[in-house]
Amino acid sequence: MAFHATVLTLYPEMFPGPLGISLAGRALERGDVRLETRQIRDFGRGRHRAVDDTPSGGGAGMVLRADVLAEAIDAASPAADTRPRLLMSPRGRPLTQGFVRQLAAGPGAVILCGRFEGVDERVIEGRNLTEVSIGDYVLSGGEIAALVLLDAVIRLLPGVMGNTLSGETESFEEGLLEHPHYTRPAEWEGQRIPDVLASGDHGAVERWRRAEAERITRERRPDLLAAKGSGD
């Protein structure tokens, strides 16, 4: 069964975007992935199809309305739909490789792309939305974040990557950053490929790669090692 992704957005023209090329593009062409977009404004209010209003209690910006979003979500994801409902949000749970693998193993996802100052909290609770963040920064909207999430998921679907081991030996798969990579020429600008990689000793190669992964993680992301040590 194809992975079915439904994106709720004010800018459906942003999709498939980069998902239309390379691995993801071929997956879409083959039908491994079904990607559809829904225009939130179709459910807007009044002659101008308003989707937002001023924040209760005052403040800057506008907030996406709960009633508008609820109707958009219900139309895209009826009660029998088992796909998780996600809201791309900077305050959400981090998008980790483990979470990506969970999504890739499922039937798909309904992804709501926020805009403006945010989304009425009542629809987040009322429609059981899981907030997901791709990093500690703020974007203009959730569309780019949704593209990131979908790219990460699609590449892990069966048959998308030519070599399944590629997805099992990458950064974050074992709580470590990935080891360095080398290829021909054997020497470049006075730098040689490490001798162990040409030794033919597969055990030694694996030990070297593991040690390098641990070294790089320790230098660049000690938080990952701390989490690994705590069993998280």
For residues 49 and 111, the answer to whether their CB atoms sit within 8 Å is no
Confidence of residue 12 (pLDDT cuts 50, 70, 90): very high
Q: What is the DSSP string of 164-228?
A: GGGGTSSTTTTSSPPPP---SSSEETTEE--GGGGS--HHHHHHHHHHHHHHHHHHH-HHHHHHH
pLDDT exceeds 60 at position 164:
no
Q: pLDDT for 61-84, tens place per residue?
A: 999 999 999 999 999 999 999 999
Burial class (CB within 10 angstroms; exposed 0-12, middle 13-18, buried 19+) of 80: exposed
Q: pLDDT for 115-124, tens place per residue?
A: 999 999 999 9
For residues 139 and 145, the answer to whether their CB atoms sit within 8 Å is yes
Domains along the chain with CATH numbers? 3-154 (3.40.1280.10), 169-230 (1.10.1270.20)
For residues 170 and 178, the answer to whether their CB atoms sit within 8 Å is yes
pLDDT exceeds 80 at position 48:
yes
End-to-end CA distance of the chain: 32
CA–CA distance, 94 with 135 (Å, rounded to integer): 7
pLDDT score at 150 = 98
pLDDT score at 168 = 61
Average predicted confidence (pLDDT) for the chain: 94
pLDDT exceeds 70 at position 230:
no
pLDDT exceeds 60 at position 55:
yes
pLDDT exceeds 70 at position 170:
no
